[in-house]
Amino acid sequence: MNTPRSCPYCQGLFVPSAFRPQQRVCGHVECQRRRKTDYHRKQRLSDPAYDQVCRDSQAKWRAAHPDYHRQWRQKHPQAVASNRQSQRRRDSNRRLGDLVKNNLASDLKPFAAKVWLLGQQGEDLAKNNLAISQVVIFQEVVARAQVLDPS
């Protein structure tokens, strides 16, 4: 009799089939789906011929169903709106990511001023040495009496 094994996906114990003693994944539908997806992804990365067959199959399906995506978007307006919002967020993060490690300033001199980054996404610019921004300079106001009095 086969000894119980732990499924790598659900962590549950299962007894391998007597007909498949090398079985590594339990029989739950979700675990089997994940096993198949992992195999497919690995196979596409390692076998160029398999990857080409998959791409050809996808192209053939798209040619046979040219209006599928347009019709799907018409039937699912909430998903379209959510996707647009997510894409805007990804685009914004990509633009900020390009700025975060922008270190073109090479000869920086120490300066006794403090820089405050204001706005919703200011924390993403913390390591940025070059940013296009609006600068507001606040100077300390010194009372005239202090300036004139030498003591």
DSSP result, 32-47: HHHHHHHHHHHHHHH-
Residues 83-128: tens digit of each pLDDT: 999 999 999 888 877 766 665 554 455 655 665 555 555 555 555 5
**pLDDT score for 125:** 57
Distance separating alpha carbons of residues 143 and 9, to the nearest angstrom:
71
Measured distance CA(14)–CA(24) in Å, rounded? 9
- Give 66's DSSP letter: T
Q: Are strands 5-6 and 13-14 parallel, antiparallel or unpaired?
A: antiparallel
Q: How confident is the model at residue 134 (pLDDT cuts 50, 70, 90)?
A: low
Angstrom CA distances, 9 to 29, 36, 80, stand at: 11, 12, 31
pLDDT at 83: 96
Q: What is the pTM of this model?
A: 0.50
Q: Which two tokens stand for residue 68?
A: 């599928």
- Of 99, 98, 109, 95, nearest to 129 by C-alpha is 99
Residue 122 or 18, more confident = 18
Query: Is pLDDT of 140 > 90?
Result: no
Look up residue 36 and give its amino acid: K
Tell me if residue 14 falls in helix, strand or coil. strand
Q: What is the pLDDT of residue 39?
A: 96
Contacts 24+ apart (CB under 8 A), 32-40: 34/9, 35/9
For the stretch 21-69, pLDDT in tens is: 999 999 999 999 999 999 999 999 999 999 999 999 999 999 999 999 9
130 has a pLDDT exceeding 80: no
Task: Say what the pLDDT of residue 92 is.
Answer: 87
